[in-house]
Amino acid sequence: MTIRRTAPHAVQRGLVLTIVVAYVLTLMTTGAFAASGTDGSVVDYSQCANNSPGSTQVTPNPKDCVPKGWIFGILNPNNSQYAEDQVTAQRLILSLPAGGPLTSRTIELKWLVRKGVHHAYDSLATWNHTQADADACQSLNTPTTTTCNGILADKSVLPIPGDSSVVTPDGSANGGVTSAHQLAGQQLEMYGLGSANGIDSMVYGTLVDESGDLYQSATITYHVASLASARTVMLLFGGHLAAGAGSRSWGAGNGASDISGGPYHIKLIKVDGAAIGNRDNQIMSSAILPLTVVVTTTLHETDVNGTDVSTPNNGSSITVNLPSDGSGVYVKDVAASSDGSATGTMSFKYYPSLADCTADSNGVSAGSGIALVGGSATSTVKQFTSTGTFYWRAFLAGTGITQSTNSACGGEILTVRQNTATSTTLHETDSLGADVNPANNNSSISVTVGAYVKDVASVAPSGATGSVAFKYYPSLADCQADTNGVPAGGGAVSGGSSTSNVVQFNSSGTFYWQAVFTATGLNNSSSSACGDEILTVNKGNPSLTTVPILIPFDSASLSDLIAGGTTVGSADGSVTFSLYKDSDLEGDCDASELVFQYKDSTAPFATVNDGSPDAGTVNGYTITTDGTYLWEVVYAGDSKNNSKTLACGDEKVVVNVTPDPA
């Protein structure tokens, strides 16, 4: 059977697929192009199409070959999207006939490392480095998927060696040595060899220039455990798309996405030393897209060194609280790209309003030119010492295949609130609220019944806005439960202070005061603690002093009177009691020594000095000092009776007011 083979990229895509399938079937049935009956024949040489750009299966990073599968055609924008520094998955399945050689079996590959001045596939790599979830047995008819899965348990690997070939031009700091641009830790994988170490070696050829396009090649040598019967084996490897930026850059503008025009190649040249025709897996440069990523951000409350606080406060938007001592809080922003292979630098800013963020005006830098590490970057640590709402944003300046992008305004909001502390001082005052002198001011004070008291609250920091309400309670439990409280006024905070009403306490007791600060704006409310200010109102404690006194008392009795001689209420018949203090101790009654006189004009003529004053006479007298006192009692007489006098000194009173200490 004769088949005209046409390069797939030179004909219509549908026709290419038809021709390639027919070609594979011909090889499987006739062994065409095999060098001898013992050489391996190609069953499948295909590559993974990871779906078209924007498909949900591949955004942001394609992970498998669904739904396009493994294809024989060209990777192009209709079926695939790859990025520089990623790896296209390549699959080769061979049928080894029974009785063939067990050792020194070979596979020769050839790939385009430079097309014009642009680098294309610069090296081989692990097959599923990018397509991490790819199914090596997908899209197979012969051998069947079941047969393919059966040989996957028989795995051999070989690390891909560094390529010391120098490829120019090169505009990067890495130089033109290919090994400086290869992915690290890459390997070839073969299945079905029957030997755990069935891959013997991979040896590079020399660079070959074909009409200005530069190719590299490699020969892979392997062995099998047995060929008593035919054996199906599979080689999986990948093609690394040269990067124009990042750690493996060949220089800006020199990467795989910069190639224009036709496709470039990874070709299967020989199997067991025999040419097998045109087996060429190709990719269009238009399928190498700039790496589009989404930047997400997370704000973190930290210490001054950028370490998260002990109780993490992290999120796209967070609220932090300034301590009342004015020391401030610390915040950092962490930006992550949706693809860990993204390259570039990140800059951070925050703005005082959403409008400023949208217009990129009045922004404050929180670090710039910060290189992505694993697709992530962290801002500098910023200290905030005043309240506000701040809108953060991260700016990714992509390099190489990574497109520049920004996080959205409004996606991360930092709200800085002010913690407050409320302390109080009780003042004993007068009725107008002026402090008594000396002052009786403290967090807790004692006063006596009838005293006036006010409470003064201090709110820190002094710039906090809001109002204070005062109450006092009859017990600590009532204060804690806010029951049975008596309002004591209050008002707006001014200069960090507010004062209660003046309250008079007319009964004794213990009263627990509390001041409650209700904040406005971005300030947090606070209150004094129950039990921190206690007013004790005590009963009065009078001073008792005594002055011993003696009220002089005397009586007179008249007898043998002739009745009818006295008119009641007249001067006749009166009895006058006179008391003298014998200050000079002469025993006489000097007028200057008279201290008390009482005249009784009542009848009958039996009268008593009761110590009370009599109108028109000398007031009553109270003895308060020691001494000798002399009475003189005079009966005035009347028309029928003569007067009668008890002489001064006949009645003596010695007074000792102060008790004898003995």
Domains of the chain by residue range = 8-287, 295-418, 421-538, 554-655
CA angle 428–433–434, rounded 5-degree value: 80
Q: What angle do CA 7, 10, 16 make, to 5 degrees?
A: 65
Q: What is the DSSP string of 413-479?
A: EEEEEE--EEEEEEEEE-TTSPBPSS--EESSEEEETT-EEEEEEEEESTT--EEEEEEEESSHHHH
Q: How confident is the model at residue 652 (pLDDT cuts 50, 70, 90)?
A: confident
At CA 514, angle to CA 508 and CA 519, rounded to 5? 155
> Which 3 state secondary structure label does DSSP give 195?
coil
Judge whether residue 531 has pLDDT over 90.
yes
CA 534 to chain centre: 36
Give pTM, 2 decimals. 0.49
| Confidence band for 287, pLDDT divided at 50, 70 and 90 | confident
Helices and strands per DSSP (H, E), number in the chain: 4, 43
Q: What is the pLDDT of residues 540-557, one digit of tens each?
A: 887 776 656 667 777 777
Query: What pLDDT, on the 0 to 100 scale, is given for residue 650?
Result: 83
Distance CA 53, CA 62 (A): 10
Q: Do domains 295-418 and 421-538 have the same CATH topology?
A: yes
Length of the chain: 662
Q: What is the tens place of the pLDDT at every residue in 209-247? A: 998 899 999 999 999 999 999 999 999 999 999 988 777
Query: Are the C-beta atoms of residues 614 and 599 closer than 8 Å to each other?
Result: yes
Cα dist from 489 to 180, 272, 498, 507, 571, whole Å:
78, 101, 10, 20, 73
**Integer Cα distance of 245 and 202 in angstroms:** 28
Return d(Cα 617, Cα 212) in angstroms, integer. Answer: 152
CA–CA distance, 59 with 57 (Å, rounded to integer): 6
16 pLDDT higher than 50: no
Per-residue confidence (pLDDT) for residue 63, from 0 to 100: 57
| Per-residue pLDDT at 289 exceeds 90 | no
**Cα–Cα dist 500/471, whole Å:** 9
Q: Given a cut of 90, is residue 391 above it in pLDDT? A: yes
Measure the CA–CA gap between 461 and 387, rounded to whole angstroms.
12
Question: Could you tell me which residue, 637 or 63, shows the higher pLDDT?
Answer: 637
CA-nearest of 193, 206, 237 to 105 is: 193
CATH classification number, 421-538, choose in 2.60.40.10, 3.30.420.40, 2.170.8.10, 1.10.10.10: 2.60.40.10
Percent of the chain with pLDDT over 90: 56
Tokens of 652: 């003596």
Place of tokens 């590490």: 373
Question: 295-418, what's its fold?
Answer: Immunoglobulin-like (2.60.40)
Residue environment code for 129-155, b if the CB has 16+ CB neighbours within 10 A, otherwise e: bbbeebbbbbbbeebeeeebeebeebe
Mean per-residue pLDDT, 482-491: 97
Q: Is 64 helix (H, G, I), strand (E, B) or coil?
A: coil
Dist CA 47 CA 50 (whole Å): 10
Angstrom distances, CA of residue 195 to CA of 122, 153, 177, 360: 30, 11, 34, 63
Q: State whether residue 221 is helix, strand or coil.
A: strand
